[in-house]
A and B are shown apart, each in its own frame.
Chain A
């Protein structure tokens, strides 16, 4: 059996996490990171630290090749040093690119100890810092997976269509760097990943398979970063939407901040280009991260967690769940004042 087909059960730390944020998630879905911290601290009673001194791991620069591997290793070493200084050995990672990157660096150091020595020297010379190798590196989706049954017990809502009584039909998209680089680091491995489908089922939904489930969202790093190249990115997302369409999903759940953003925004862009959606309505298929989905079943106010920042409107999904929310609060600022609203929400007029 190939390693990618092994039914992986990975170790996921159960407490005392050092949180490492994601550049993309902070930009586009900052509420998802905030609510993840809140769920862990205030719903699950876990200890997780949000440290102001960590920076980008520079993974997007690394995979678009402007950041050399030696620099990337040293940047990762700096994150580990901050963890060490705070007495933490378990990383909780928000970003999938970082998650793959941290594991890549650790694997390199196992195989080539001289690389670790070089990273230690670079870090010491540049910052005076030292680090210990983390005991556990988990992605936020791993932690949600680990506590999915606890969350189900605390849940106010199930992923069930309130009108029909049937489970919501949910397709998942796993960010490539979660399990493709190191299949043993992802729950279920690369081919039969279950980290999101198990969560969906634990909360009452139906996990729906589709042929291109494993296909990349199309970020492609340099292919999205350079405007001329973005057709690569949108073409790959289109392939996924075409593959999902016959299964009529109620929503898409993702574990990767970038994928979440692309699957949300490219539906809009494709609608503008093609004049069609893949949802059977004009809105498009709502795309939520595992953090946002956990927050919804726990009954968080959707506007506190930032769901008004999605291009594809989430309100039809809230209606299906029978979620008790106030649409009039969607565009109110922190003081309750109207802050204007987008000219257009969803995909098609």
Chain B
């Protein structure tokens, strides 16, 4: 059985992101997430650098690794050219591959991201798609977005976009052949495996937590509602 460190080291980004941390903490000083959360990228790097299996296992089961906003502000400021943001990406990968992510509130949210962004990618070829930015769930988008959303066809046409139509242009319909290629890329390169891993671990956690239907199977709609309302005070 591979150790945590072996799993982390299999990812080239660990080599790219971790040279030799001297613990100066400049990454923490400039980190927007450290300002917002109780979060310290310096200590994460020190933990990974230590190679302590138990501490790394706890780390990938924790909320901590999900607090980074991936802005990479840490990267240009490190005197030794480490990149804590990249190390975080590696920890998150292992957390999802091993199922550790369901043990933390922020980690469990990966299921929500998969359902929105993952679905958009495979079904439309875009990460973000106008019909999925629903005003009711995006009140911050304001009245102008609501007007755009309600008049999509006319507004996009007015500004020269090609919404859902054949040919080139902004928000064009990405054809079936291209979507099939995208799906095959995901199947060939591990993307589909990761999607399946996130779904299966989430289903198991949903069942274990009592979100089941009349047949005792995981009820993922109930689970989604739970995730959407799971706040900081939960558990």
A162 close to B (CB within 8 Å): no
Q: Count of chain B residues with Cβ under 8 Å from any Cβ of A?
A: 92
> Of A78, A269, A334, which contacts B185 at CB under 8 A?
A78
Nearest-neighbor residue (CB-CB) of A61 within chain B: B117
Which residues of A are found within 8 Å of B72, using beta-carbon distances? 100, 176-177, 180-181
CA distance A108 to B11 in the complex (A): 11
Smallest CB–CB gap between B213 and chain A, Å? 25
Which residues of A are found within 8 Å of B198, using beta-carbon distances? 66
Q: Are the CB atoms of B121 and A34 closer together than 8 Å?
A: no
Q: Are the CB atoms of A265 and B145 closer together than 8 Å?
A: yes
A4 close to B (CB within 8 Å): yes
CA distance A181 to B228 in the complex (A): 32
Chain A residues 193 to 250 lying within 8 A of chain B, measured CB to CB, are: 214-216, 218-223, 225-230, 232, 234-236, 239
Q: Are the CB atoms of B12 and A265 closer together than 8 Å?
A: no
Smallest CB–CB gap between B200 and chain A, Å? 14
Over the window 285-304 of chain A, the binary record of Cβ atoms lying under 8 Å from chain B Cβ atoms (1 yes, 0 no) is 00000000000000000011
Q: Are the CB atoms of B117 and A64 closer together than 8 Å?
A: yes
Chain B residues 68 to 115 lying within 8 A of chain A, measured CB to CB, are: 69-73, 75-77, 79, 81, 83, 89, 92-93, 96, 106, 109-110, 112-114
A51 close to B (CB within 8 Å): yes
CA distance A69 to B93 in the complex (A): 9
> Of B83, B146, B170, B182, which contacts A55 at CB under 8 A?
B182
Over the window 174-189 of chain B, the binary record of Cβ atoms lying under 8 Å from chain A Cβ atoms (1 yes, 0 no) is 1100110110111111
B126 close to A (CB within 8 Å): yes
Smallest CB–CB gap between A300 and chain B, Å? 11
B157 close to A (CB within 8 Å): yes
Q: Count of chain A residues with Cβ under 8 Å from any Cβ of B?
A: 101
CA distance A134 to B156 in the complex (A): 32
Nearest-neighbor residue (CB-CB) of B181 within chain A: A127
* Stretch of A20-28, A83-91, A165-173, A320-328 that contacts chain B: A20-28
CA distance A60 to B119 in the complex (A): 13
Over the window 323-337 of chain A, the binary record of Cβ atoms lying under 8 Å from chain B Cβ atoms (1 yes, 0 no) is 000000000111000
Q: Are the CB atoms of A30 and B127 closer together than 8 Å?
A: no
Q: Are the CB atoms of B161 and A31 closer together than 8 Å?
A: yes
Which residues of B are found within 8 Å of A341, using beta-carbon distances? 147
A191 close to B (CB within 8 Å): yes
Q: Are the CB atoms of B92 and A65 closer together than 8 Å?
A: yes
Which residues of B are found within 8 Å of A24, using beta-carbon distances? 127-128
Over the window 81-119 of chain A, the binary record of Cβ atoms lying under 8 Å from chain B Cβ atoms (1 yes, 0 no) is 000000000000000000010000001100110010001
Q: Are the CB atoms of A68 and B190 closer together than 8 Å?
A: yes
Q: Are the CB atoms of A225 and B113 closer together than 8 Å?
A: yes
Q: Are the CB atoms of B127 and A311 closer together than 8 Å?
A: no
A123 close to B (CB within 8 Å): yes
Q: Are the CB atoms of A340 and B151 closer together than 8 Å?
A: yes
Q: Are the CB atoms of B184 and A126 closer together than 8 Å?
A: yes
Not counting A53-B175, A222-B109, a sample of 15 additional A-B residue pairs whose C-beta atoms are within 8 angstroms of each other reads A21-B170, A23-B126, A25-B170, A27-B133, A27-B171, A30-B170, A58-B121, A67-B194, A71-B191, A74-B185, A108-B12, A222-B70, A228-B229, A265-B145, A266-B140
**Mind listing 23 A-B residue pairs with CB under 8 Å?**
A4-B76, A52-B172, A56-B125, A60-B117, A66-B198, A68-B191, A71-B185, A75-B182, A119-B189, A126-B187, A181-B76, A215-B73, A216-B69, A226-B109, A229-B106, A236-B69, A268-B140, A269-B142, A309-B155, A310-B144, A339-B158, A342-B143, A345-B144
